[in-house]
Chain A
Amino acid sequence: MWFFIIRRFNLFILTTAVLYFLVFLMILALPGELMTNISGHQQPNLELASELTQQYQLDKNWFNQYISFINQRIHGNFGISFTTDQPIYAEILKLLPATIELCIYASIVALVIGFPLGILSAIQPQKPVDFVVLGTSLVGYSIPVFWLGVIAIMYFGLELQWLPVAGRLNLLYQVPPLTGFTLIDIWLSNLDYKQLAYRDALAHLVMPTLTLAVIPATMVVRITRTAMLEELNANYIKASQSRGLSPITIIFRHALPNALQPVMAQLSLQLSTLLTSAMVTEVIFSWPGIGNWLMDAIYQRDYPVISAGILICAGFIILVSVLTDIILIATTPKRRSGVNGSS
C-alpha cells in the first residue's frame, strides 16, 4: 500500500509543479514588467530592485526564474498587492477561512440532502419517486447560481426581510477573528450576547449556504443514484436477498458502504465546480472570502493577487483530490491495482 501512496504523493508534487509552471507562464504573458508582476512592487527603488532580482533570479534564464518563483511561493512569499501594498500571504490567511467555512457548510447541506434522495431514487428506479428526484435534480442543476442568489436576495432579503443579504456578521458584534471561522470565533470569544451573535451569524449564513449547496446537492443525488444502482444490481445483493436479509440491512450494511467509494471519488472531482460557484456566491452576498477578493483583484488588474488566488485555489483542489485518493487507496484494496501512473 505504501508503494501506491508514495506514487500518489509523487503525482501530487509533479502536478503542483505543472500548476506553478502554468501560473508562471501566465505571469510572463501579462502586460507590464516581469519584476512588478511577480513581486507586486510597482516602483521599486534601486536597492529593492536588486534584492528582487536576486530573490527571483531575474537576471538568469527562465528556468532559474521558475525555480526561484516556486521557492518564494512555497516559503509564503506571494509578493504584495498592487492596491493595498499589503503582503498577499497575510490577506490569504485572513480570507481563506471564510471561503472554506462557506464551502464546508454548503457541502454538508448538499450531502445531507443529496445522499438520502439519491439512495431513495436508486431503491425504486423508474418509479414516480425516482422521476421526481431526478427531475428536481436536473432542474436544480440548470439554475445559474448567480440568478438563484439574486432571486433569493430579492425574495427573502428584500420582500420578506427575513434574512440579511450581505456579509458574515452584523457590525454590532465585535468578534475577534482568531480562527477566521465565525461560528468558532463566537464560541471562543467572551461576548455577552453569544446567543444573539450566533443567531445573527447563522442568519447571514443561510442564504449563501443554500444558494451554493443547490448544484453540489444535485450532483450528489445523481452520483449516489448511479453508484447505488450499480451496487444493487450486483450478485452479492441478490445472494443476500435470497438469504432473507431485510431490505434495510441490505441497503445500509451491504450496498451503501460499497457505493460510497465511487461517490467519494467522483465528489472530489467536483470540488473545482464548488469553488467556482463559491466565488460567484461570495460576490453576490458580499461574503469576505477568496472569491470576492479575487474578483476585486480582477477589476483592478491586480496581477500578483490574481496569480496567488489561482495558486491557492488550484493547489487546494489538487491537495484535496490527492488526499481523497490516498484515503480511498488505504481503505479499498480494489483500487490499488488500477493506479499505475499511466491511468
Chain B
Amino acid sequence: MARASSIYQEEVIPSPIRQVWLHFLSYPVAMIGLWIFGGYVVVAILAPLIAPYPPHFQHTDALLFPPSWHPNGQISYFLGTDDLGRDIFSNLLYGVRTTFGSSLLVTFLAAVIGIVLGVLSGMSRGLKSSILNHILDATLAIPSLLLAIVLVAISGQSLTNVMMAVGVALVPQFMRATHTAVHHELTREYVVAAKLDGANPFQVFFNVILPNILNALVVQTTLAISIAIIDIATLGFLRIGVPAPTSEWGAMLADGVDLIFIAPWNVTIPGLAIFGSVLSINLIGYGLQRAVKEGLG
C-alpha cells in the first residue's frame, strides 16, 4: 500500500500507528463499530438540532403511543411516547449526551489520572511500589459499581457526582493496567540497554516504555468506556443515578419497567440504545486489539 504511492523503488515502511490503523481498516466488523460510535458522537453533539421535541415536553393527548411502525403508531412520535406523553425519540437523543457523552468524559479524566498514578507506581520499586500496590489491590477488590453507589450515596445525586463516582471506580483499573504494562516492559532488554546508555527515568519512560505500552492503554481505554456507559446506566436503572429531569437511558428503562405489560417498547428501546453504544465500543476494542497484535506483534 505504502509503496504504490511512491514512484521510486524505495520502500516506505509505515509508522507503527499507521500500521495499526491500516490493519484496523481491514476489519469490517471493527469499522462498523467505529461508524456506529461516530454516529453516537454526532448525535451527542447535535442532539438539540435533531430532536423533534424538547425531551420533557408532555404531549398530554398522546400518551403511550407505540413506535411508528406499529399499526397504532404515528410518525410524529417516531419511537412512541411514554406514560407522561414524552417523546421517546427526543428523550433518547438527549440521553446520548448524558449516558454516552459523560461516560466519554469520565473515561478521559479517569484515564489521565489512572495512567499517571499507574506509571508512578510502575516505575518505582521497593516500599513505595509495594504500598501503592496494596492500596490498589484493596480498591480493586471493591466492586466498581458498589464503590460508585456508595460515593453517590454519600455525596448525593447529581450528574457531577455520578460522573465522579464512576470515574473514581475506574481509576484503579487504569492504574492496574498501566502498572502491569510498565512493570512488564521494565524487565525487557531494550529498557536495560537504554538505562546502560545513561538515560534518566524520564527518558526511559517517554522514549522507551511509553511507545510500547500505548497499545495496552488504548485497549484499556475502550474497555473503560464500555464499563462507564454500563455503570452510569446501571446507576440510573437502580434510581440512584442522574436525577429525574435529565434524560438518561438507564432511568428511562427503569421507568419503562412499570409499564412493561402495556408498553414494552419503553424497555426495549432504551436498552437497545445502551446495547448499541456498548457493542460499538467493544467492536472497536476488539479491532484495535487485533490490529495491534497483527500490526506490531
| Interface of A toward B, CB cutoff 8 Å | 11, 14-16, 18-19, 21-22, 26, 29-31, 134-135, 138-139, 141-147, 150-151, 153-154, 158, 272-273, 275-276, 279-280, 283, 294-295, 298-299, 301, 306, 309-310, 313-315, 317-318, 321, 341-343
Minimum Cβ distance to chain B for residue A297 (Å): 9
Instruction: Check A298 against B275 for contact (C-beta < 8 Å).
Output: no
Assembled-state Cα–Cα distance A279/B29 (Å): 32
Residues of B contacting A301 with CB < 8 Å?
153
Residue-wise interface mask of B (129-148) relative to A, using a CB-CB cutoff of 8 A (1 in contact, 0 not)? 11001110111111111100
Instruction: Check A138 against B146 for contact (C-beta < 8 Å).
Output: no
**What residue in chain A is nearest B256 (Cβ atoms)?**
A150
Instruction: Check B143 against A273 for contact (C-beta < 8 Å).
Output: yes
Instruction: Check B237 against A146 for contact (C-beta < 8 Å).
Output: yes
Residues of B contacting A145 with CB < 8 Å?
234
18 extra A-B contacts, CB within 8 A, seeds A19-B141, A145-B234, A153-B260: A18-B138, A26-B150, A29-B154, A31-B154, A134-B286, A135-B29, A138-B283, A144-B234, A146-B233, A147-B253, A150-B260, A279-B145, A280-B145, A299-B239, A301-B153, A310-B150, A313-B143, A317-B143
Instruction: Check A272 against B275 for contact (C-beta < 8 Å).
Output: no
Residue-wise interface mask of B (151-163) relative to A, using a CB-CB cutoff of 8 A (1 in contact, 0 not)? 0011000000000
Minimum Cβ distance to chain B for residue A31 (Å): 8
Instruction: Check B143 against A343 for contact (C-beta < 8 Å).
Output: no
Instruction: Check A342 against B134 for contact (C-beta < 8 Å).
Output: no
Minimum Cβ distance to chain A for residue B156 (Å): 10
Assembled-state Cα–Cα distance A176/B247 (Å): 46
Stretch touching chain A among B50-58, B111-119, B188-196, B264-272: B264-272
Instruction: Check B261 against A138 for contact (C-beta < 8 Å).
Output: no
**What residue in chain A is nearest B147 (Cβ atoms)?**
A310
Instruction: Check B126 against A342 for contact (C-beta < 8 Å).
Output: yes
In the complex, which of the residues A26, A29, A144, A294 contacts B275, with contact meaning CB atoms closer than 8 Å?
A144
Instruction: Check A317 against B183 for contact (C-beta < 8 Å).
Output: no
Minimum Cβ distance to chain B for residue A301 (Å): 7
Instruction: Check B150 against A146 for contact (C-beta < 8 Å).
Output: no
Instruction: Check B141 against A272 for contact (C-beta < 8 Å).
Output: yes
Q: Which of B141, B142, B153, B282 has the most chain A CB within a 10 Å cutoff?
A: B141
- Count A-B contacts at CB 8 Å: 132
Main SS of the interface on chain A? Answer: helix
Residues of A contacting B138 with CB < 8 Å?
15-16, 18-19, 21-22, 314, 318
Instruction: Check B134 against A11 for contact (C-beta < 8 Å).
Output: yes
Residues of A contacting B150 with CB < 8 Å?
26, 298, 306, 310
Minimum Cβ distance to chain A for residue B196 (Å): 21
Assembled-state Cα–Cα distance A11/B133 (Å): 10
Given contacts A295-B238, A342-B130, contact A154 B143 (CB under 8 A): no
Instruction: Check A146 against B253 for contact (C-beta < 8 Å).
Output: yes
Instruction: Check A150 against B271 for contact (C-beta < 8 Å).
Output: yes
21 interchain pairs (CB within 8 A)? Answer: A15-B134, A18-B134, A18-B137, A134-B286, A138-B279, A142-B275, A143-B278, A147-B271, A150-B257, A150-B260, A275-B146, A280-B145, A283-B238, A294-B146, A294-B149, A309-B146, A310-B142, A314-B141, A314-B143, A314-B146, A318-B137
Instruction: Check A139 against B142 for contact (C-beta < 8 Å).
Output: no
Instruction: Check B153 against A343 for contact (C-beta < 8 Å).
Output: no
**What residue in chain A is nearest B29 (Cβ atoms)?**
A135
Given contacts A138-B279, A310-B150, contact A154 B141 (CB under 8 A): no
Residues of B contacting A273 with CB < 8 Å?
143
The 5 A-B pairs with the shortest beta carbon distances in the complex, nearest first, are A147-B271, A18-B138, A142-B279, A142-B278, A276-B143
Minimum Cβ distance to chain B for residue A33 (Å): 15
Minimum Cβ distance to chain A for residue B281 (Å): 8
Residues of B contacting A141 with CB < 8 Å?
282
Assembled-state Cα–Cα distance A341/B128 (Å): 12
Minimum Cβ distance to chain B for residue A199 (Å): 26
B230 close to chain A: CB less than 8 A: yes
Given contacts A18-B135, A138-B282, A151-B267, contact A276 B253 (CB under 8 A): no
B103 close to chain A: CB less than 8 A: no
**What residue in chain B is nearest A320 (Cβ atoms)?**
B141
Given contacts A19-B138, A22-B138, A150-B253, contact A310 B146 (CB under 8 A): yes
B240 close to chain A: CB less than 8 A: yes
Instruction: Check A342 against B125 for contact (C-beta < 8 Å).
Output: yes
